[in-house]
Amino acid sequence: MDSKLLKPVLAVYVAAFILFLYGPFIVLGILSFQQGPEGGPQFPIIEWSTYWYRHLFGLTPPSRIAPLPVGEALLRSLTLAFMTMVTATVLGVMAAQAFRRRFKGAGIVFYLIVLGMMVPGVLTGLGTSLLANNVVGVERHWWTTAFVAHVVYTFPFAFLVMLAILNRFDGSVEEAAWSLGVSPARTFRKVTFPLIFPGVLSAMLFAFTLSFDEFPRTLFASGRDQTLPLAIYGTFSVEIHPNIFAFGVMTTLFSFSLLAIYGILMGLSVRRAKKIAMQEDIS
Amino acid sequence: MSTTAPSTERNGYTSWLLAPGVFWMILFLVAPIMMIVYVSFWTQTTFAINSTLTLDSWKNFFSSEAYVGALWTTLRLWLIVLALTFIIGYPAALFVGLLVKSKTVSTVLLVLCVIPFWTSFLIRVLAWRPMLGKEGAINIILQELGLIDSPIEVLLFSELSVIIGMTQIYVVFMVGPIAFMLGRIDRNIIEAARDLGAGFGRIFWKIIFPLSLPGVVVGAIFVSVMVLGEFATSGALSGRKVNLLGNIIVTQVGSLKWAMASVVGVILTILLGIVVAGFLRIVDLKSEL
């Protein structure tokens, strides 16, 4: 086959591929502007309206369609994601820092950590709830059992991100600090951490978004109170209305604003690093 | 002496750094999985469970048509989705990773593929409903084009809808690693082969494909692990008609049948172990990456 022909053909293919990835989302977005409350979750659009968005925030007169139970669930999910983010990032930075030096059993420890992201959520969820229910005898809550399961899932991501960053990191600056008699802890705070901060930011973004969206582990391990994904899942079994589409659009916007914040912070830290480097060059 | 003292101090430093993470994983990952194996041999009564060891749940699993059927459904769906993600994903990865000359365009395309990953998984599953339904977008478009007279009903709440949904959700995990490996191929090798008169087909099968194989394996492992552990997509898009091993676990836990849920959990774990080990035999990832 001629490669001159191949490239345009594949370009068209990739366009179709991206349409395949985004198609359902575009349809969902369009249908979220369906007329309410009579308009159903399908075409045609009877009349364009923002009814379902107002419905989501409780700004519409009461109708037969109950508002989504998202208020408290959102708060829980945000808290859980924040707790997970902090714990997973701290564990990830520590473990990756340890991996910069050779030590016995490094291979086993590496696989043990990576296992956390590879084992399907349905298994970790089941195991965690078995352990809590039948051995330890504690009640399952989103802030106890679900939290530890979330960290098991996100810690490997934080660890791998940090490992990639630290691999490219020049150790001689630290050695300089050590040889000047600065303690390892202080060296880490004053020298290493500022240099690896972009990596830490990425690890935090991973941990937060993965936990915020986590579903299978939470389903088993969270007990009575619902997190946001559980609340969404609850609506699956009943008849769906365009309010869940409007909600999908809102969560997507939320994810994108997280990405934007990450991008801004990243840009700022890179610029600061450049500034410092330039100052050093001048002096 | 001056050399040994800091070294032992640093060794202590290393273990202190590792201890919290390792303990966390042993307590909350290894112990729970051990627990699944252990509980699969417990005795199940109607509403309770006790630690008298028995093989009853295992016998129940293999004598029930529904449970063994779920095992076969899981295997079948896994193979279909794996094949589809590879067939659909590889050409896209080929374009993004190898054929696009500009680094910026390639990055932009890759980011475009990854962006849906940042949105809610459940919303992505749900988004297929207005697409595939009887009055869904696909049926409407096909009818407008005059390709069909009456809506295709098999599109939603069938095995087909689960396959379509899973393929769309997981194909990105195939594209990413393959594009990464393709991006690392030295273009001079391809140029040299072309100068020596090799056609594209020959270059592809002799150079490009073998060099991208580690990416294929990593992608296949990602897709396999996620599809085998699935239950949400099959539950939401099949109208409970398609039952995977994951769905059995969810319903068993829902009716407090912990022992049976554990049996299914162990079978799933063994299945995953075999699949991942099998893929790792194809290429030695450690030397390739």
pLDDT: which is higher, A170 or B38? B38
Q: Are residues B204 and B104 in the same domain?
A: yes
Same domain, B30 and B171: no
CATH number, domain with residue B113:
1.10.3720.10
Q: Could you give phi then psi for residue A223, rounded to 5 degrees?
A: 70, -140
Same domain, B10 and B130: no
User: What's the confidence (pLDDT) of residue A222?
Assistant: 87
Identify which of A94, A248, A252 has the shortest CB distance to residue B21: A94
Tell me: do B176 and B254 sit in the same domain: yes
Q: Which of B26, B85, B129 best tests the A interface by mutation, with the highest count of A CBs <10 A?
A: B129
pLDDT tops 80 at residue A39: no
Q: Is residue B101 part of a domain?
A: yes
Contact assignment for A109 to B124 by CB distance below 8 Å? no
Residue B58 domain-assigned (yes or no): no
Sort out which chain A residues have CB atoms less than 8 A from B255's CB and list them: none
Say if residue A123's pLDDT is above 60: yes
Per the CB < 8 A criterion, the answer to whether B110 and B96 are in contact is yes
User: Residue B237 contacts by C-beta under 8 Å, 6 or more apart in sequence?
Assistant: B125, B128, B129, B132, B156, B157, B161, B162, B165
Distances (CA, A) of B114 to A189, B219, B261: 33, 14, 34
CATH fold, domain A71-239, is MetI-like fold (1.10.3720)
Do B128 and B89 belong to one domain?
A: yes
Say if B235 is an interface residue toward chain A (CB within 8 Å): yes
- Number of independent structural domains in chain B: 2
Two structure tokens written together for B12? 């202590």
Structural domain includes residue B72: yes
Query: What ipTM describes this predicted complex?
Result: 0.88
Q: A-chain residues within 8 Å CB-CB of B47?
A: none
- Is the domain of B26 the same as that of B94? no
Q: What percent of chain A has pLDDT over 70?
A: 97
Looking at the structure, do residues B235 and B135 belong to the same domain, yes or no?
A: yes
Q: Which helix (H) or strand (E) holds A60?
A: none
Q: Which residue has the higher pLDDT, A280 or A152?
A: A152
pLDDT mean across residues, chain A: 86
Indicate yes or no: CB of A122 within 8 angstroms of CB of B236.
Answer: no
Q: For residue range A3-27, what is the model confidence (pLDDT) as tens digits?
A: 678 889 999 999 999 999 998 888 8
Q: Considering the domain boundaries, does residue B46 fall inside one? A: no
User: Can you tell me the mean pLDDT for A71-96?
Assistant: 94
Are residues B172 and B103 part of one domain?
Answer: yes
Residues of chain B with pLDDT under 70: 1-10, 286-289
Contact list, B269 vs chain A (CB under 8 Å):
123
Task: Give residues 115 to 154 of B whose Cβ lies within 8 Å of A.
Answer: 116, 118-124, 126-131, 133, 135-137, 140
pLDDT per residue as tens digits for the range A49-67: 888 888 888 777 777 777 7
Could you tell me which of A6, A252, A24 has the C-alpha nearest to residue B95? A6
Contact A3 B200 (CB under 8 A): yes
**Tens-place pLDDT, residues A243-279:** 888 888 888 888 888 888 888 988 888 787 777 777 7
CA end-to-end span of chain B, whole Å?
39
Residue B147 belongs to some domain of the structure: yes
Give the largest CA-CA distance in chain A. 74
Going by C-beta distance under 8 Å and a sequence separation of 6 or more, which residues neighbour residue A132?
A138, A139, A140, A144, A145, A221
Please tell me whether residues B18 and B75 are part of one structural domain: no
- Can you give the residue range of the structural domain that contains B19? 1-35
Phi, psi of A50 (to 5 degrees): -105, 20
- Min CA distance, B119 vs chain A (Å)? 5
User: Same domain for B1 and B127?
Assistant: no
CB-nearest to B232 from A128, A216, A259 is: A216
- Find the DSSP H helices in A99-192: 106-118, 121-130, 145-167, 172-179, 184-187
